[in-house]
Structure 1
Amino acid sequence: MLASVRISDLIRAAALVAAAALPAAAGPQRVVSMNLCTDQLAMLLAAPGQLISVSNLARDPRMSPMAEQAAEYPVNFGRAEEIYLMRPDLVIAGEFESGPTVSMLRRLGIRVEVLPPAESIEAIRAEITRMGGLLGREPAAADLLARFDAGLDAAGSREDRGRAALYYANGITSGRGTLAGAILESAGYRNIAGDFGITGTAKLPLELLVMARPERLVTGAKWPGQSRSEAILDHPALAAIAPATAKVTDRDWVCGTPFILRAIEALE
């Protein structure tokens, strides 16, 4: 419970810090974010009126931990025409954003900064610092970073909680070099993906997972509909080998932001 309170305070206080100060004189005044992950960092760090649009995914509560806050911003769908008409002086995109959109905006003379996905704790720390620099909000970024580090100390575990497996639709797992793997390790678990030499994201046959017998199984939240790719998550063998199954909400796991603290806490 104590960790939960501290994590909630981290997120709430970060938003208050962002809303309390004006942007630096040299910072951009009309910022558009067109990526779900950059949306979150921008909303946490931007000063009032500085951020003028976020991606449409930012309002999806299944994907975005800041869906309620995102409702206060106009959304964009990543199209060059609509973003250009917003007259931004800075556009922030993700690494896997539409190449043609980024290229067109740059040809039109608009500054576009591309941020790679953060797949580790250190990468998250670097992204916070970089976003603060892009917005001219270095003090706010330093404050958020300090609160993130404090949250890691409160939510993370130094004890060995045993072996755990990440298992998603189509029998996919995540090993080292992934955000999900970093979350698992931060919660004190040893990822069985390492036993099979898996790094990054790869398929793990159900038979190998059953024979590995992890103490904890972490699966993704199911989406509406009847996707056959998710049928493997209902296999009775999974319940038999790991009764302590954690069905996580994707929104806290999707992006490398301070909200991973909630994902870490959910595994304790």
Structure 2
Amino acid sequence: MLRKVFLLFACLCAAMAGSGLLATAFRAAPSATRPPQRIVSLNLCADQLVLALADRRQIAGLTRNAVDTQMSAEAARARGLPILTHSAEQILAIGPDLVAGMPARGNAVLMGLDRDVRALDLESADRLGDIYRSIRTTAAAVGHRDRGEAMIARMQRELADLPRPGAGRVAAYYQRRGFMTGTGTLIDDLMQRMGLVNLAAKLGKPALAQVSLEEMVAARPDFLIVESATDRITDQGSEMLHHPALRDIPRISIPQAWTVCGGPSYARAARSMADQITRLDGAHR
């Protein structure tokens, strides 16, 4: 979540930096009669939906995070595709017929376009219902409605069979440097699906709060949910998660790439959480 906030801020800063070169307004055109052939994505979450739903030959540009396996659940599909530098000139040279972002419309990098361009404006998906809407919206925009419906049906089947092994126990999504994710977030939605109670809600914390090691030890959650990248110590930020005072709290480890954006990887994250809780319970019997 912390890195997600940083990425959105960084994209905004990059857009503002290029605005001095731009003059005319970016407008959304009516829906095209044929699928777009030069799709450009402006941020990580749009990258993943476009990669999952569009044909490879339709994709003309993605962000640099699209190929980062720590950040994108679709990184393997992005290999070999054009990567953008958030340069207005680069996007102008592509001549996109669909631009996807959160949102795409009004992005300063694109204000130099002097013609109508279709815009796919996506909203942050912090609940499963939001994810389904994003999938349907993207699938329609890239010309593959049936692909979107098939993806949703597959996710629904996967999630329908999942147990709720949390049984009302308390969990904390604890991140590098002591940041904890609160309610109204994708992680919180996954916790609820597992039957877990978010420690942040019990403590009255906002969507993102820094919680000291002492506070966490005193709160004594039943589970710590951590990013798999912090399973080993790599720097000071991850070192605190391995403090001896936390070692006997059972851990659920999830790749950040599955939860940084609301998308099809939600079902994968839910399955992994359910399996890990069940395994941990079995080990403590």
Between the aligned partners of 1:247 and 1:266, the Cα distance in structure 2 is 9
Matching residue of 2:254: 248
Aligned residues: 242
Equivalent AA in structure 2 for residue 41 of structure 1:
L
**Pair 1:48–1:60, CA change in 2 (3 A):** closer
Structure 1 gaps of 5+ residues are 1-23
- Mean alpha-carbon deviation: is it higher for 231-240 or for 166-175? 231-240
1:151 touches 1:261 (CA, 8 Å); kept in 2? yes
TM-score (norm 2): 0.76
Which of 136, 142, 146 is matched with 1:139 structurally? 146
Deviates more, 1:45-54 or 1:142-151: 45-54
Partner of 2:230, secondary structure, is coil
Selected match of 2:98 from 82, 90, 94: 90
Match of 1:29 in 2: 37
Q: Which amino acid in 2 is paired with 1:256?
A: G
Q: Which residue of 1 aligns with 2:265?
A: 259
Query: Aligned AA for 1:62?
Result: Q
TM-score scaled to structure 1, two decimals? Answer: 0.80
Contact 2:35 2:142 in 1 (8 A): yes
Which ranges in structure 2 are unaligned for 5 or more consecutive residues?
A: 1-31, 275-285
After superposition, what is the alpha-carbon deviation per residue over 1:66-111, rounded to whole angstroms, capped at 9, x for unaligned?
Answer: 2221114222122221111112111112349994214334x55433
Alignment pair present for 1:68 and 2:68: no
Deviates more, 1:43-52 or 1:171-180: 43-52
Q: How many angstroms apart in 2 are the aligned matches of 1:103 and 1:117?
A: 22
Residues in 2 aligned to 1:55 and 1:103: alpha-carbon distance in whole angstroms: 18
Equivalent residue for 1:44?
Answer: 52
- When structure 1 is superposed on structure 2, of 195-204 and 224-233 the one drifting more is 224-233
Q: CA offsets per residue over residues 1-22 of structure 1, 9 Å max, x none?
A: xxxxxxxxxxxxxxxxxxxxxx
> 1:183-198 residue pairs with structure 2 within 5 A?
183-198=190-205
* Counterpart-to-counterpart distance in 2, 1:25 and 1:111: 11
Distance 2:163 2:59 in 1: 32
Distance 1:137 1:258 in 2: 16
- Structure-2 separation of matches of 1:254 and 1:97: 22
Aligned to 2:14: none
RMSD: 2.7
Q: Give yes or no for the alignment of 1:178 onto 2:179.
A: no
Q: CA deviation at 1:177?
A: 0.8
| Contact 1:78/1:98 (8 A) holds in 2 | no
- The amino acid of 1:239's aligned partner reads R
- 1:167 equivalenced with 2:174 (yes/no): yes
Identity %: 29
How many Å apart are 1:166 and its aligned residue? Answer: 0.7
Q: Does 2:224 match 1:213?
A: no
Q: Which residue is 1:119 aligned to?
A: 126
Report if aligned partners of 1:128, 1:141 keep a CA contact under 8 Å in 2: yes
**AA matched with 1:39:** D
CA-to-aligned-CA distance 1:26-52 (integer Å, 9 cap, x gap): 332221112221111112211352222
